[in-house]
Each structure stands twice: as structure tokens, then as C-alpha cells.
């Protein structure tokens, strides 16, 4: 046995700083100490507030009177009786679904441009990333000006081309206002989706792409039979990131339309803000916001599935 051969005559010397050494080597201890700060922080500022939000939904807490009083489902009844809530719920879905589709399709196109090799690539990348890196409230202000009822340059062009007589009033008509909100979401999230999908495209080994060229596959077949299936997990991640950002955002609606005209563009997040902070009715605001959660949970499960799939390829 090896032990008998190497048996030391004296017991091994203890390191002078033996205790510290051992702590720094104990995986279990390190794992615990590394994780605790994050867990404590998240429990304190995410988990507890999350349950507080649920509790608020059953309470009469207002901005003026923060003491807790149980009111059961009353807040729910009041929220459900309000047509604006249903409009906001519907809008949230419509905005998210349409944006998600457009974000994926345009993001894919943009990703393909960003990985291509051409002169002036750096400038194009810079310009293309602007919408995503700019704080959303600021870019929404720019869009507010771009869609201005009198001075919109889009209107000016359409007027001068002769397509319209009068201005469009983009933000003054419910249909156009909704389209504008969607357009801004798509515009600001396409670059993010493109960067994520770019990662996917870059991760395909060159050999595979070249093999498909040798095998006689043209541009479209390469895209649909090789690139898209191989990058599907990242496309899914991009789609769901886009969906989550659209779904939970209130800045675009808040700045661009303020929920108007006549509450036609409110989404859950903005309506919850109007009720909870604007109106001071925290109970109602909480009820509205809670509706975001089950849908996000579904999104999360989908993302995780996509990631799982990615690991098994």
C-alpha cells in the first residue's frame, strides 16, 4: 500500500494560518458565503416586496394612509369594473405579440447585416445600436417630437408627396397611437435582439456554413435549414427578451401618449402607475400589476426550455 511506503516519521506540520487556509479551501463554506449577500439582498428587496405587492392587493393602503387594512377582494372588483383595465390588459397583449414578431424578424435581418463584412461597418454598428443604448424615456421624447401633431417631419413628407391633405395626428387617434407605441418598442428593441442573434450566428462553426455552401445550398436554404435551426435557442431568447421588455415597460406609453387618447393606449404597467402613484390607490395599483406575473412566469419557462435545448445540441 502506498501509505506504508510514504508514512511520514513525524506528523505533518500544521500551517501557521491553518484555520484560514482551511476555510478558504472548504467548498461548502465558500459556496455559502459567496451566495448569502446576494440571496439576502434579493429576499429583502425582491421577494418581500413581491409578497407585499400581493398583500397590498387585498388592502386599503393609499399614499395618504399607509396603515394596512384588509379589504378582501374589493380592489379586484373595482379594477375589474373599470373598462380601462380591460383595455390595458388587451393592449399589453397586442403590443407584446406584435412587437415580438417584428423584433424577431427585423432583429434577424439586422443581425445578418452586423455580422457581414463591409466598409464603414463600425459606423453602421454604432448607429444601429443607438436605439437600444439610449435611455428609453429620452428616445420616447424624440419620437414624441417626430410624431408631433403639427411639426412631424413624417407628416411633412407625406403632405409634400401628396399622400395626405391634413396631418396624421399619430398620437391623437387610438389606432395610430397604438401603432406608434408598437413602432417605438420595435425600434428600440431590435438592436438588442440583433446583438443576441448575432451571438448565435457567430457561434456556428465556419465549417458548417462552408459545408452547406459546398453542398449546394443557396442563401435561403442556408438560412432556413442551417442558421435558423442551429441558432434557434438564441432566437427564442431574443424573442422573449423583446417580449419581456415590451410587456413590462411603461416609459414609452407614459412619455409618448400618457395612455391617451382617452385611455386607449394604456398597458398594465402604465395603468398601475396611474392608479397606484398618480391616484394614490396602492391597493388597486397592486392588483393591476399582479396581472403581469403569471404571464412572465410562462415566458420564463419558455426561455428556460430554449436554453435547455441549446445545451443538448
Partner 1 sequence: MAAPTATAPRSDVPTAAETARLRRRYARRDIMSRVSLYVVAILAALVCAGPFVWSTLTATKLNADLYNPQHNPFLYNKPPTADHVMFLFTDTAFATFAWNTLWVGLLVVLITLVLGVPAAYSIARLNRPWSTPMGIAIFFVYLVPPSLLFLSLSRVVVSTGLQDSTWSLVLIYPTITVPVSTWLLIGFLKALPRDIEEQAMVDGYSRLGAMLRTILPLLFPGMVAVVVFAFTLTASEFIYALTFISPTEEKVVSTGVPTELIRGDVFFWQSLQAANILIAVPIAFVFNLFLARFISGFTMGAVKG
Partner 2 sequence: MSVTVEVSNLVKQFDGGDVRAIDDVSLAIEEGEYLVLLGPSGCGKTTLLRTIAGLEQQTSGDVLIGGSVVNGLPPRVRKVAMVFQSYALYPHKTVLANIVFPLKPEKLPKQERESKARWAAELLGIDLLLDRKPRQLSGGERQRVALARAMVRAPQVFLLDEPLSNLDAKLRASARDELKRFQQRVGTTTVYVTHDQAEAMGLGDRIAVMDKGKLRQLGPPVEVYDDPADTFVATFIGSPPMNLVPRDDTLVGFRPEHLLPAAHVSGERVEVSFDVDRIEYLSGDRHVYGTVTGIGKDSRVIARLPATVTDPVTPGESHAFAVNVDKLRFFDAESGLRSEPVRVDAQHG
Binding residues among 209-248 for partner 2 as defined by CB under 8 A = 210-218, 221, 225-226, 229-230
For residue 156, what is the enclosing H or E element? helix 153-161
Contact between 282 and 61 (Cβ < 8 Å): yes
| Torsion from C-alpha of 277, 139, 98, 83, nearest 10 degrees | 30
* Backbone phi and psi for residue 215, each to the nearest 5 degrees, phi listed first: -75, 5
Residues 115, 113: Cα–Cα separation, whole Å = 6
SS3 (DSSP) at 7: coil
Judged by CB under 8 A, does residue 305 bind partner 2?
no
Binding residues among 168-187 for partner 1 as defined by CB under 8 A = 187
**Among residues 11, 12, 16, 37, which is the contact residue for partner 1, using CB under 8 A?**
37
Binding-site partner at residue 208 among partner 1, partner 2, none, CB < 5 to 8 Å by type: partner 2
Binding residues among 171-210 for partner 2 as defined by CB under 8 A = 205, 207-208, 210
Judged by CB under 8 A, does residue 24 bind partner 1?
yes
**Among residues 102, 143, 185, 235, which is the contact residue for partner 1, using CB under 8 A?**
143
Q: What are the beta bridge partners of residue 59?
A: 70
Binding-site partner at residue 10 among partner 2, partner 1, none, CB < 5 to 8 Å by type: none
Residues 217, 222: Cα–Cα separation, whole Å = 6
Per-residue mark of binding to partner 1, 68-97 (x: CB under 8 A): ------------------------------
Binding region for partner 1 (CB under 8 A) out of 1-9, 78-86, 107-115, 173-181: 107-115
Binding-site partner at residue 163 among partner 1, partner 2, none, CB < 5 to 8 Å by type: none
Judged by CB under 8 A, does residue 133 bind partner 1?
yes
Residues 129, 269: Cα–Cα separation, whole Å = 26
Q: How far is the CB of 196 from partner 2 (least distance, A)?
A: 19
**Among residues 105, 127, 163, 164, which is the contact residue for partner 1, using CB under 8 A?**
127
* Backbone phi and psi for residue 144, each to the nearest 5 degrees, phi listed first: -60, -40
By C-alpha distance, which of 64, 61, 89, 88 is closest to 75? 61
Which residues, at least 6 apart from 213, have a Cβ–Cβ distance to it below 8 Å?
A: 222
By C-alpha distance, which of 102, 257, 292, 255 is closest to 175? 257
Q: How far is the CB of 148 from partner 1 (least distance, A)?
A: 8
Per-residue mark of binding to partner 1, 47-66 (x: CB under 8 A): xxxx-xx--x---------x
**Nine-digit cell string for 159:** 403632405
* Residue number with CB closer to partner 2 (63 or 211): 211
Q: How far is the CB of 274 from partner 1 (least distance, A)?
A: 12
By C-alpha distance, which of 257, 247, 251, 238 is closest to 302? 238
Binding residues for partner 2, total number by CB under 8 A: 18
Q: Which residues bind partner 2 (CB under 8 A)?
A: 205, 207-208, 210-218, 221, 225-226, 229-230, 313
Amino acid at each position: 500500500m502506498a501509505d506504508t511506503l510514504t508514512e511520514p516519521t513525524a506528523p505533518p506540520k500544521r500551517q501557521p494560518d491553518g484555520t484560514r487556509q482551511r476555510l478558504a479551501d472548504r467548498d461548502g463554506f465558500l459556496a455559502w458565503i459567496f451566495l448569502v449577500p446576494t440571496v439576502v439582498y434579493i429576499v429583502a428587496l425582491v421577494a418581500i416586496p413581491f409578497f407585499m405587492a400581493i398583500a397590498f392587493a387585498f388592502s386599503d393602503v393609499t399614499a395618504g394612509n399607509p396603515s394596512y387594512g384588509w379589504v378582501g377582494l374589493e380592489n379586484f372588483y373595482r379594477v375589474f369594473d373599470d373598462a380601462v383595465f380591460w383595455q390595458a390588459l388587451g393592449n399589453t397583449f397586442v403590443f407584446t405579440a406584435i412587437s415580438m414578431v417584428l423584433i424577431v424578424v427585423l432583429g434577424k435581418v439586422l443581425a445578418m447585416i452586423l455580422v457581414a463584412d463591409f466598409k464603414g461597418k463600425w459606423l453602421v454598428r454604432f448607429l444601429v445600436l443607438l436605439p437600444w443604448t439610449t435611455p428609453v424615456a429620452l428616445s420616447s421624447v424624440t419620437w414624441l417630437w417626430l410624431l408631433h401633431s403639427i411639426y412631424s417631419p413624417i407628416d411633412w413628407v407625406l403632405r409634400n408627396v401628396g399622400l395626405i391633405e391634413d396631418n396624421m395626428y399619430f398620437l391623437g387617434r387610438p389606432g395610430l397611437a397604438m401603432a406608434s407605441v408598437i413602432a417605438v418598442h420595435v425600434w428600440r428593441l431590435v438592436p438588442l435582439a440583433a446583438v443576441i442573434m448575432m451571438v448565435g450566428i457567430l457561434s456556428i462553426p465556419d465549417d458548417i456554413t462552408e459545408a452547406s455552401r459546398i453542398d449546394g445550398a443557396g442563401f435561403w436554404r442556408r438560412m432556413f435549414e442551417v442558421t435558423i435551426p442551429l441558432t434557434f435557442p438564441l432566437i427564442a431568447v431574443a424573442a422573449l427578451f423583446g417580449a419581456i421588455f415590451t410587456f413590462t415597460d411603461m416609459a414609452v406609453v407614459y412619455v409618448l401618449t400618457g395612455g391617451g387618447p382617452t385611455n386607449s393606449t394604456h398597458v398594465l404597467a402604465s395603468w398601475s402607475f396611474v392608479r397606484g402613484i398618480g391616484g394614490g390607490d396602492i391597493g388597486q395599483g397592486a392588483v393591476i400589476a399582479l396581472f403581469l406575473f403569471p404571464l412572465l412566469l410562462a415566458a420564463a419557462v419558455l426561455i428556460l426550455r430554449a436554453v435547455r435545448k441549446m445545451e443538448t445540441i
